[in-house]
């Protein structure tokens, strides 16, 4: 997943900026279980984070948008940071 953005047309700056963008893919923000619990209780998230049932202390999770939504907002699921997202995982969690 790479970022796409319009860069200034100054020749020297433009090419070096493109190289730096393409060389480094975007990293997802990872959260601990306790951070996710606190976030889930805020007005911004409105209990829309589906928290994992089992976890280890210090384990980190990424948030993924699901296809589940209602009039109050979209639901997000917390999946282990080291988990490889395959087509089967996308099917199970209905990920975008």
Going residue by residue through the chain, which has 96 residues, state the pLDDT in tens, using 9 for 90 and above: 444 454 444 454 455 554 554 455 568 899 999 999 999 999 999 999 999 999 999 999 999 999 999 999 999 999 999 999 999 999 999 998
Q: Model pTM? A: 0.71
Residues 6+ away with beta carbon under 8 Å from 94: 66, 67, 68
Tokens of 11: 């020749």
Tokens of 13: 């700056």
């Amino acid at each position: 997943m790479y970022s796409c953005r319009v860069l200034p047309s100054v020749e020297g700056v433009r090419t070096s900026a493109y190289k730096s963008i393409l060389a480094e893919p975007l990293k997802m923000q990872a959260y601990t279980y306790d951070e996710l619990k606190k976030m889930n209780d805020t007005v911004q998230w409105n209990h829309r984070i589906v928290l994992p049932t089992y976890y280890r202390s210090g384990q980190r999770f990424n948030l993924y948008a699901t296809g589940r939504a209602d009039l109050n907002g979209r639901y997000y699921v917390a999946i282990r940071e080291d988990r490889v997202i395959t087509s089967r995982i996308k099917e199970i969690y209905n990920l975008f």
